[in-house]
Amino acid sequence: MIYARFRHGARESYCVIQGEHIYELEGEIFAEHSPAQTGIPLSEVTLLAPVPRPGKILAAAVNYQSHAAGASAITKSEEAPAEPQLFLKPSSSVIGSDEPIVLPEGARRVDAEGELVAVIGRACRNVGPDQSLDYVFGYTCGNDVSARHWQRDDLQWWRAKGADTFSPIGPVIATELDPAGLELTTRINGEERQRTNTVALVHSVATLIAFASQVCTLEPGDLIFTGTPGETPTILEGDIIEVEIGGIGVLRNSVVRQTPPAAAGFG
C-alpha cells in the first residue's frame, strides 16, 4: 500500500494513494485507520514530507562497502565498520519532495546521499534482527545531505548532517517491500550519479533496527536512514536532485543558497 501526507486547500492529513486518486485516512496512520470511501484527484493535492517531525532520525554511516573508500578522509578507514555506526539528525532538518534544499552560508562543499529510509510503525525495544522488520511501517526515499568540510573539521556532525533542509524524505511511504532487494538511483540534473541495490548494505535494515533498539526505544514515526553507496555527488545552487527507489518513487528537490545573514563571522 502507498501512504502519503497531503495538503488540500487549508487541510493537511494522511491518505492512501490508489491510481490517480487519494483517499484520506480516518484514524491515525500509526494506529487503527481506514481510507475514506470518496477519493480526491491526486492532481488536486500537494504531497508533503510523509513524517513532518519524527521523534528521532538515526542514520547509518558507511553502510555500503562501495562508499567506504570515498569516506575514508573522515572515517580514517577504507573498510565499512564491523558493527553499525549510527548518528542522530534533528527533526528540524526534514523537508518533503519538491521543497528546496538550502545551502547554508559557509558550508562550502555539500554532497547528496541517496538512501533507503525505514519508517518505524510501533514501539521497538530490545528486539533481534529476526523480529525487527515487524516494527517497520514502511519505507521511503531519503537524502542525507552532508556538508563535507563541517563533517571533517567539527568534533560532531550536528551541523554537517543536521542543517535545516538536510533530510529530504518522500514522496510517499510504501509498505510490503523487501528492504533487501530495492534498486536505488541518485541523479543530478538528470545524470545518474549513484546506483545500487540494497542487497549490498553491509548491515541490513533488520540489523540496524535491532542494533538501535538495544540502546533506545524506537517509536512510531522514527526514521532510520540506512546509508548511501559509492561516491557521493556534490550539489550546487540550481541543481535538481532525484533519489529514486523501486516500489517507492522519486524524491525530487531543487538546490538554493541561503541568503547571507546580516551579521557574519562563523565559518
pLDDT by residue (tens digit) across 10-54?
A: 999 999 999 999 999 999 999 999 999 999 999 999 999 999 999
Mean pLDDT score, 226-240: 97
Count of Cβ atoms closer than 10 Å to residue 205 Cβ:
26
* Amino acid letter for position 17: I
Q: Cβ(257)–Cβ(103) under 8 Å?
A: yes
Q: Copy the grid coordinates of residue 198.
A: 540494497
CA angle 251, 257, 259 (to 5 degrees): 135
Sign, CA dihedral 4-7-8-12, equals positive
Q: Copy the grid coordinates of residue 149.
A: 568540510
Q: Copy the grid coordinates of residue 185.
A: 538511483
Q: Cβ(168)–Cβ(142) under 8 Å?
A: yes
Look at the domain 2-47 and name its fold.
Answer: SH3 type barrels. (2.30.30)
Report whether pLDDT(262) > 90: no
* Amino acid letter for position 208: L
pTM, entire model: 0.94
Q: Per residue in 91-119, is it b (16+ CB within 10 Å) or e — as a string?
A: bebbbbbebebbbbebbeebbbbbbbbbb
User: What is the per-residue pLDDT for 246?
Assistant: 98
pLDDT by residue (tens digit) across 85-132?
A: 999 999 999 999 999 999 999 999 999 999 999 999 999 999 999 999
The 8-class DSSP code of residue 46 comes to E
Residue ranges of the chain assigned to CATH 2.30.30: 2-47
Residues 6+ apart with CB under 8 A from 156: none
Q: How far is the C-alpha of 154 from the C-alpha of 168, rounded, in Å? A: 23
User: What is the per-residue pLDDT for 67?
Assistant: 78
Residues 6+ apart with CB under 8 A from 44: 8
User: What is the per-residue pLDDT for 205?
Assistant: 98
Q: How far is the C-alpha of 36 from the C-alpha of 24, rounded, in Å? A: 5
User: What is the per-residue pLDDT for 176?
Assistant: 95
Q: In the chain, count of helices (H) and strands (E)?
A: 6, 20
- Considering the domain delimited by 49-257, tell me its CATH architecture: Alpha-Beta Complex (3.90)
Residue ranges of the chain assigned to CATH 3.90.850.10: 49-257
